[in-house]
Structure 1
């Protein structure tokens, strides 16, 4: 059986270091927690790359709000991928939708091609798509390696049935990563019900924007 892995969403450099020290397998670096995560600052990412030996994925999202982007915003996303590639990060996290709630295949394919050879994760824009099954196929077709989702609910526990169904339907063609309200208190339940192999949490347990080392440890401990 494949060993389960843990990704920690980090909104500052301190969180990234805490994640690595306490057993996380990967950091997803972003800014603006209150916006649900946006593209991190280049200099912070550069420092993160220098201090981290674990994998580092970078969020590419020009703003909070919806996932339908203007031409200027799309150009910004392309530019950012080009810049971050030079830092030798390990992957990118983004997702673009059409106004009708479908996956924007043309734009996503372009970004995936631009990010090559680095793998891409389709982020929680997936939780806003109209047709889950059709969108799963679209994301696979675009060339993404994984999807970060709460199962279209406000947290992974409420979305557990959809997550389990997505993992079954994906049939190892893409990795489904449960994320959104994932904590050490519910990760064992998610593992039991979904058989996911990769999990995503901010490991934030207070009003700060910084990961809690004990929570990272507990999350990881529940996956072993």
Structure 2
């Protein structure tokens, strides 16, 4: 039995390619440069119509920090309701208080609103002040999983904490390593951390196919895509 592989994407074409390459689940985001924000309605609806594997949209109304004001919580709630209406299997969000603790009140309320959808608490977790205490708070809120790089920029550097989280979670919640996961380090991450799901973008840049660029305005029109060969390799490792 293969361990699940989630692929993070930033456009519909990449989502389709990732699904065809063997991804088990898609995290659907916009705005790579800002760490991911909520996809537009058209992006959500089109992707849902074209992909049959589970898709979890990112619900994050803006880039920047993870403390959200009441009006932003209202936006998140409405976007979760939209994702339920459109038939998605889960959503991804993460809320912190100003002091670095988990925003327990709003997280629990939004998890209840999202039900029966899965809820992944995203890498806001990697910015929290006390990860082991925060794990217990997130479990109490009813989230399904935590996406984490072990409070380091890349998950392989945070593998010690990831292993602690997996052990402490004790199957009460899924700990899903993400960021910097690739076919060169996946086997070690499986063996070392004991995690049972993994997340990556398998990201590559593809050159623009546009035939004209204004020479007075030099721009990089390269587009985010996914490496289908890398996904196939990751899937092979996860099935061993």
- The TM tier, using the shorter chain, reads over 0.9
Q: Which moved more, 1:102-111 or 1:197-206?
A: 197-206
Equivalence map 1:116-135=2 (5 Å): 116-135=115-134
Separation in structure 2 between the aligned mates of residue 67 and residue 122 of structure 1, nearest angstrom: 12
Name the structure 1 match of 2:48. Answer: 49
Contact 2:2–2:235 at 8 Å: present in 1 too?
no
Structure 1: any 5+ residue segments left out of the alignment? Answer: none
1:93-130 CA distance string (max 9 Å, x none): 00100000000000001110110111100000000011
What's the CA shift for 1:198?
A: 0.6
Name the structure 1 match of 2:30. Answer: 31
Whichever of the two has the greater Rg, that structure is 2
1:155-196 CA distance string (max 9 Å, x none): 011001111110011000000000011111111111111121
Structure 1 runs, 4 residues or longer, greater than 6 Å off? none
Equivalence map 1:95-106=2 (5 Å): 95-106=94-105
Name the structure 2 match of 1:220. Answer: 235
1:125-153 CA distance string (max 9 Å, x none): 00001101100000000000100000000
SS at the partner of 2:156?
coil
Name the structure 1 match of 2:165. Answer: 166
Structure 2: any 5+ residue segments left out of the alignment? Answer: 206-221
Report the number of matched residues: 223
Q: Which moved more, 1:143-152 or 1:183-192?
A: 183-192
The normalised TM-score by structure 1 is 0.97
Q: Which moved more, 1:181-190 or 1:200-209?
A: 200-209
Separation in structure 2 between the aligned mates of residue 130 and residue 210 of structure 1, nearest angstrom: 33
Cα RMSD after superposing both structures: 1.1
Separation in structure 2 between the aligned mates of residue 127 and residue 118 of structure 1, nearest angstrom: 23
Name the structure 1 match of 2:219. Answer: none
Equivalence map 1:20-99=2 (5 Å): 20-99=19-98
The normalised TM-score by structure 2 is 0.91
